[in-house]
């Protein structure tokens, strides 16, 4: 018999988080300030950054997009980050990924002051997360996924989480985060042999590989929780890395695309910006 999964409403969850955060921001004496840097004209990145800005402004934060042309050199980009690092009005700095090929993202990310690294991608915050240190600024997408899982499942201890994708943005930080919450974690990637055999073992399957509708029903254990991080455009329509209509017959819970992880990522980024603002304010007071 086919199951029909409960569909997780990431949009409603994110709205709830944002409303609570907006109330806290109203009582701030000044506005938390997020600086977003975008290099080049990737249309998807432009949409993502405008959505982040719109969300930040709507809840009383300040947010500017520094839009640099695609031939901007690594040195010029790093110079801008140094300037923002030194600006006391700026609480959070985000450099939109991917960057053009002539720029090394690791050089750029390591330049961001760790207290303003609201993506949590820099070596300091990534290291803290790896060591299960609660002071880590945790990358927004993994943080949003954890929020959903804990809300829906409660304690995650002993669950087998299988992650498809080993990026620094999702797969790696998510593996650390779930390990810190006592999951048994398997990371798989494009070179993994017999992937469906591994994904069928998952209590929680998280897919972040950028392959439209790759995961089918046969890849999923009956009753598993399926989290789809993919955002792909096929024939002008958005879809995830999971074949939603197929997999929803096998899973117990599933996130849709759009309206699943995307809005949660923005909500968590704004939470990180607020945390960075508080940390910086408290440091000045001390």
81 versus 94: smaller Cβ distance to ligand GUN: 94
Stretch that binds ligand GUN, among 92-100, 155-163, 254-262, 270-278 (CB under 6 A): 92-100
For the question of residue 96 being annotated catalytic, the response is yes
Q: Name the residue number minimizing CB distance to ligand GUN.
A: 97
Burial class (CB in 10 A: 0-12, 13-18, 19+), 22: middle
CB-based contact 247:215 (threshold 8 Å)? yes
CB proximity list for 24: less than 8 A, separation 6 or greater = 274
Catalytic residue among 49, 52, 203, 248: 52
Q: What are phi and psi for residue 143, nearest 5 degrees?
A: -65, -40
Q: At closest approach, how far in Å is the CB of 167 from ligand GUN?
A: 9
Q: Tell me the chain's radius of gyration from C-alpha atoms.
A: 19
Q: At closest approach, how far in Å is the CB of 141 from ligand GUN?
A: 5
Residues 2-31 that bind ligand GUN (CB under 6 A): none
Q: Is 55 left (phi over 0), alpha (psi -120 to 50) or beta?
A: alpha
Compose the 215-254 pattern: x for residues touching ligand GUN by CB under 6 A, - for all others.
----------------------------------------
**Site for ligand GUN contains 141 (CB under 6 A):** yes
For the question of residue 280 being annotated catalytic, the response is no
CB-based contact 162:186 (threshold 8 Å)? yes
105 versus 198: smaller Cβ distance to ligand GUN: 105
The residues annotated with a catalytic role in the active site are 52, 96, 119
């Amino acid at each position: 018999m086919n199951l029909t999964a409960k569909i997780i409403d990431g949009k409603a969850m994110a709205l709830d988080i944002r409303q609570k955060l907006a109330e806290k921001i109203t009582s701030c004496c000044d506005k938390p300030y997020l600086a977003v840097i975008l290099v080049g004209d990737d249309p998807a990145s432009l949409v993502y950054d405008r959505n982040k800005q719109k969300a930040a402004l709507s809840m009383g934060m300040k947010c500017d997009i520094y839009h640099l042309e695609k031939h901007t050199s690594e040195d010029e980009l790093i110079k801008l980050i140094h300037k923002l690092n030194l600006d006391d009005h700026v609480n959070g700095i985000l450099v939109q990924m991917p960057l053009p090929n002539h720029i090394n993202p690791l050089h750029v990310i390591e330049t961001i002051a760790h207290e303003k690294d609201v993506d949590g991608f820099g070596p300091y915050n990534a290291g803290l997360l790896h060591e299960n240190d609660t002071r880590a600024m945790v990358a927004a997408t993994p943080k949003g996924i954890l929020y959903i899982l804990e809300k829906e499942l409660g304690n995650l201890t002993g669950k087998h989480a299988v992650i498809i994708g080993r990026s620094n943005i999702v797969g790696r930080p998510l593996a650390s985060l779930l390990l810190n919450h006592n999951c048994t974690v398997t990371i798989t990637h494009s070179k993994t042999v017999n992937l469906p055999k591994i994904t069928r073992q998952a209590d929680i399957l998280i897919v972040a590989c950028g392959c439209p509708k790759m995961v089918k029903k046969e890849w999923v254990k009956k009753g598993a929780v399926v989290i789809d991080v993919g955002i792909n455009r096929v024939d002008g329509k958005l879809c995830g890395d999971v074949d939603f209509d197929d997999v929803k017959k096998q899973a117990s819970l599933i996130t849709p695309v759009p309206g699943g992880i995307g809005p949660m990522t923005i909500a968590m980024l704004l939470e990180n910006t607020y945390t960075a603002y508080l940390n910086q304010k408290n440091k000045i007071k001390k």
